[in-house]
Amino acid sequence: MRKIKYKKVLVVSFILCAALLFWIFIIGIYSNQPGQFYNKGHNAVWLGHEWVGEYKNKIKVYDLIRDLEKRQIDTVFVHAGPFKEDGSINPSTYQNAVGFIEYAKMANKKMSFQAWLGQLRSNVDLKDDSVRHNMAKQALILTKMVGFDGVHIDIEPVWDNDEDFLLLLKEIREVISKDKIISVALAEFIPGAFIFAAEKVHKFENFNSEVSYTDSAKYADQIVVMAYDTGINRGWLYKRLVEEQTIRLTNLLGGKEVFIGIPAYDDGKEGFNPKVENIENGLMGIISGLNNIRSEEENFAGVAIYPYWEVDGNEWGIYEKLWLKSPLQK
């Protein structure tokens, strides 16, 4: 009789231990810190091409920098592209970049300005050696001659084992100075375990799993997940997605700066619902993720807002309430 009771105790103990481990490592234990606790003042924003394509006088540039400082943003992806079909960029796109960077650095030497270079995959053939060469050459021109602190590469889509895209990153890394940043924007990832299970029902052609991120991180200093355009129509589910992106990517990309990109635009379109995917829900997901014991806070750089020109006063108010540190907290 005692043996039976002892076995029952062992079984119950095993179940409790398994449940506890599942809770800790799969679901996670949460703290309850506000966003200000995790804000390092190292946030990012995507800036429109007019700042380098058109002339902006010193006052306008200084006003921009002061506004970014007020928002505790120190990393700026300045649209200087897009790439043309042959991998080059029309110089008129960034014809005033030298003056912009000069004024911006006069206002704040510590702020980082990266040339945001993008293109749809259907418009640029990365299998072509000459195209990749031109793209790498353009990165060299923009960092060495124009004065950008790095390049922010936004080629869409990118997928697992994307050898041509990785070759592009490798070639850029080989030609630009070591002190210049390579930043990469990637779509939100789907866990490999989920893909493995789901492919038994539906075959995926292209997707981003952890593999895409770890491969890109071999050459990139910064990784930015574009956590939007998900097609999700429930606020709680979108928050959960952003939370998991935050948890898993801060774990996955040790030694790299991880930015979580959230949307500020209002264009209703297929695959995007601004009532669901927005600054408030995005920030709440990030904060929840950072409060989860499974996340690695030291690898989290900050929030990236897409795009600067779409953020209205109400959205800045939400950002300030949920994320900004007060002067006494800095």
Percent of the chain with pLDDT over 90: 79
Note the pLDDT tens digit of each residue in 131-158: 999 999 999 999 999 999 999 999 999 9
Structure tokens, 156: 């869409």
How many contiguous H segments (helices) and E segments (strands) does the chain have? 12, 8
pLDDT in tens, 202-214: 565 666 888 999 9
Residue 285 · residue 237 · CB < 8 Å: no
Angstrom distance (rounded) from CA 299 to CA 305: 18
With a cut of 60, say whether residue 289 has pLDDT above it: yes
CA distances 143 to 94, 114, 148, 150, 177, Å, are: 12, 8, 5, 6, 8
**What class, spelled out in words, does domain 32-322 have in CATH?**
alpha beta
Residue 89, classed as helix, strand or coil, is coil
Q: Is the pLDDT of residue 18 over 90?
A: no
Provide the whole-model pTM.
0.89
Instruction: Kindly tell me if the per-residue pLDDT of 328 is higher than 80.
Output: no
Among 104-118, 188-202, 232-246, 284-298, whose mean pLDDT is lowest?
Answer: 188-202
15 has pLDDT over 50: no
**Mean of pLDDT over the chain:** 89
List all residues 6 or more positions away from 231 whose beta carbon is below 8 Å from its beta carbon.
270, 271, 272
Q: Which two tokens stand for residue 245?
A: 């992106």
pLDDT tens string 166-187: 999 999 999 999 999 999 999 9
